Amino acid sequence: MEMYGYVFARESDLAHHGIKGMHWGVRRWQNEDGTFNEAGKERYFGKGTGENYHPVDKAGAKARLENAKLQEKAAKGEYNRKTAGGRIYDEEAAKKFIKAKNETTFAKQDLKDEGVKEKLNKESKISARREKLIEQYKEKGMNQEEAEIAAYKRERTEKMLKVAGAVAVTAAVAYGAAKYKEYNFDSVIKMDTSLTRIATSDTKSVQDAFYAVFSKNKTDVSKYAGLYADQIQKGVYGHKIGTDVFQKTIRATGDLSVASPKSAMKALGDLVQKDPQYKEDLKKLMNTKSARDALDSGKITKEVYERLNVQLGASAKGSDVAKKFYDEMTSRGYNAIKDVNDAKYSGFMTKTPMIVFNAQSKVSVDKVDKLSKSAIAANNAKAVADIGRKTVAKELAPTLALYTAGGVGVAAASKAATTKRQDQIVREYRQEHPNTNLSYNDIVRNYYRNQ
């Protein structure tokens, strides 16, 4: 039926409409993965945008990031409420917090990628190195845009590494030298240095062997005036619930020689050689076969020494094993060693924990303050925050897949390990789902969202 130039179809008519040159299964504007092909880019974004053009949406990326930050803030608040600031374990709250942090990380990455796309759009040509990288990333399963962005970042990182290479080597040598010096060389707590100790007595005295930290390290001080004091008041370590806690300020009235691990191990080895009974008593403190075997062979390994060091404040406290060791060290001119337990094993993560022994004539308690509940709570919050930051960096970084460490060399190494893991995730997913249309980034993000 025709009326005024219009044609109306009847119910019995069957018609198909298209454009000239159209073929079934052939996409005119898009690639198979849904991204625009060159013709599509030019059609929807204008002339000159076809080749290597990437649509940019910074406003949208910023909005998504702000929303992710709000969600993370809410999850963090819930986590702190349910775990009392990380002191109580709550798996559900922890997982929710981690996932929220992941979403913030993803959103930050998206915003950075929008900036990269702007730079890509301004390029008239790319290096042969970049072209090779793009093909490598596509072989790993990235679509064209993901591959171009990844290749741009990789090439930029390689350039930065070349510039920073000498600095990185110097820093590594310096770090190694500092560790070497700490392990092999003795040090001194100079006269008038202030130390801080937590105690349950308000007397102006110290024990034959006491634990303390440098007063100038405020973070270390807060961990004992917060975490340790809080545990004492809650009845941990055999104390009565509600026990009063005091903070003592101790001044060195003379120089105190601090033995290096190497010197302490040497003294321990000589003590074991000349006192067979001491060797047997020490062996009882060793909780690993390797440590016991080392003692049987007459060797004082790092493991043996650290096990003794840890037990000086626990099962060996006040024992002949501790007294004989302290006396041997004092006979060699030492009055202090580093507390391995709180520096490495206890979870306090302190930098300056010391065990000072046989030094009553070389120290003076200048001040004793009773810690109020509010002061303990405030210090506890600072301690938890510091330990939380260090724990996240150490333990949760692998989970927060796209986080990178500070420093060019470290960041590159961290990124390389992360990328390798992501490649494995994508490879395994595509083996299980060979017909998937998900992009590389989609697969990676969905993996972490479902953990």
For the segment 219-245, what is each residue's pLDDT rounded down to a tens digit?
A: 999 999 998 999 899 888 788 888 999
Which amino acid appears at position 117 of this protein? K
Helices (H), 140-188: 144-184
Does pLDDT of 11 surpass 80? no
At 36, the pLDDT band (50, 70, 90 cuts) reads: low
At 49, the pLDDT band (50, 70, 90 cuts) reads: very low
Torsion angle defined by CA atoms of residues 245, 251, 256 and 260, in that order, rounded to the nearest 10 degrees: 50
Instruction: State how beta strands 194-199 and 187-189 pair.
Output: unpaired
Specify whether the CB–CB gap between 94 and 83 falls below 8 A: yes
Measured distance between the N- and C-terminal CA atoms of the chain, rounded to whole angstroms: 62
Does pLDDT of 171 surpass 50? yes
Section 151-164 average pLDDT: 77
Instruction: State how beta strands 246-252 and 187-189 pair.
Output: unpaired
The pLDDT, as a whole number, for residue 173 is: 60
Name the residue with tokens 């006396």: 327
Structure pTM?
0.53
Does pLDDT of 269 surpass 80? yes
Higher pLDDT, 412 or 318: 318
At 414, the pLDDT band (50, 70, 90 cuts) reads: very low
For the segment 330-358, what is each residue's pLDDT rounded down to a tens digit?
A: 999 999 999 998 988 888 889 999 999 99
